[in-house]
Amino acid sequence: MPEGDTIHAAARRVGAALVGSDIVSIETPHQRHAMDRWPERLGGRGVRSVDAHGKHLFLRFDGDLTLHSHLRMGGMWGVYERGRRWSRSPRRAWLVIRTPEHEVVEFDGPVLELMTESRTRFDLRLAALGPDILAPQLDEKRFLTRLREDDPTRGIGDALLDQRNIAGIGNVWKSEGCFDAAIDPWRKVRDTSDAEALAIVRATRPRMQDSVSRGGHIRGLQVYERAGRPCPRCKHRIRARGQGEDNRTTYWCPECQR
Ligand SMILES: [Zn+2]
């Protein structure tokens, strides 16, 4: 599942291809958008900027129109030179934007909507998002406020996945962050101090920033998908178990994460 670093890296690539370029065509091949008339509504407009908040990506067009996308479990953004073969089948394309040099394609994207700029600010789902872990300045105070409003009996690993607490952390970074901070992901939120919660996001942020700078490629995973292997810190065996209502797998070392 794409996490915040993947989406921020995609925003950079998509922005580099679209901002300042002529938009030759916009297509929405998927049946669901057949009646939306986006090609007409967006025709002739340039792309002003492309940005991300957590796992959400925004293409901001001239004249107050914004395309909002969320890739959920399996979507992706592809940026290709014109004429190059796409990495997924054209049948899976939901959005195709062409410039003289590039084709920008969103594949398998279940959330794709055109909204006015002002609606992006007042949309309830977007307003509910916690601070973006990859924002230029991480709003730590707001993260802690949101965390303390959450169910205190929830495991801290599970709480980190909740985009209302902090936006951008997914299953990979939940496990890696708790490992880096040596905190047991099963520890309840109420038993996790502010300093400990901050230690997790402060450890996670630079690793996610590193991933963004490498186009979304993560270096040096410590525990994620390494169940049964020795812990890089203490050599005990790494474990894996489903956590939270969605039963998302958490990887951790029960010896050195307390
Ligand atoms: Zn360990």
Comparing 35-44, 184-193, 246-255, which segment has the lowest mean pLDDT? 35-44
Taking the centre of ligand 1 as the mean of its atom positions, its distance from the CA of residue 231, in whole angstroms, is 5
Tell how far the Cα of 255 is from the centroid of ligand 1, in angstroms: 5
User: pLDDT tens digit string along 191-234?
Assistant: 999 999 999 999 999 999 999 999 999 999 999 999 999 999 99
DSSP string of 86-149, one letter each residue:
PSS-GGGEEEEEE-SSEEEEEES-SEEEEEEHHHHHH-HHHHT---BTTSSS--HHHHHHHHHH
Give the Å distance between the CA of 18 and the centre of ligand 1.
Answer: 45
Q: Which residues are catalytic?
A: 2-3, 55
Interval between CA 238 and ligand 1 midpoint (Å): 7
Q: What is the mean pLDDT of residues 148-172?
A: 97
